[in-house]
Amino acid sequence: MNEHLMEIVARDIVEGLPKEKRDIYQYVVDLEDELASRSETSEEFMALLVKHAPHQQAASHFNMSFGELMKRMRDIEQEINTKIDQKLKHATWIDYTDTIRSMKGSGAINTSYFFFSMDHAYTK
């Protein structure tokens, strides 16, 4: 599946998490994203992760032990992955290329057109 579309699906799932889970997850991800934006290589990113310890910062921020924060993050990430898998199982792609081309004429030859749908009834 398209990487951009996967990002949209994941963001939608994160937004649907209960507030406490969403806050914890987003706090850690925001810290990691900030470090990633300051890194030019994966080695630099890993060094910044070690130096700044975003999970430890999050544990302190949410008044948890490091172990408790890590367990919660693993549980939240598993929940997100499970929901992504559920959504992908019910995703539908419909190729409308021929229909659109016939409506537009020959000017749309190098473009493909798809309709993408996800049945939200299966995501809860």
Q: Per DSSP, what are the bridge partners of residue 117?
A: 92
Q: Which of the four pLDDT bands, split at 50, 70 and 90, describes residue 46? A: very high
53 by DSSP, 3-state: which? coil
pLDDT tens digits, 6-45 = 888 899 999 999 999 999 999 999 999 999 999 999 999 9
Q: Which of the four pLDDT bands, split at 50, 70 and 90, describes residue 122? A: very low
Beta strand ranges found along the chain (DSSP E): 91-95, 114-118
Asked if 23 contacts 15 with a C-beta cutoff of 8 angstroms, the reply is no
Q: Higher confidence at residue 119 or residue 17? A: 17
Residue where the block lists tokens 């430890």: 56
C-alpha angle with apex 71: 67 to 75, nearest 5 degrees? 170
In three state form, how does the secondary structure of 64-96 look?
A: CCHHHHHHHHHHHHHHHHHHHHHHHHCEEEEEC
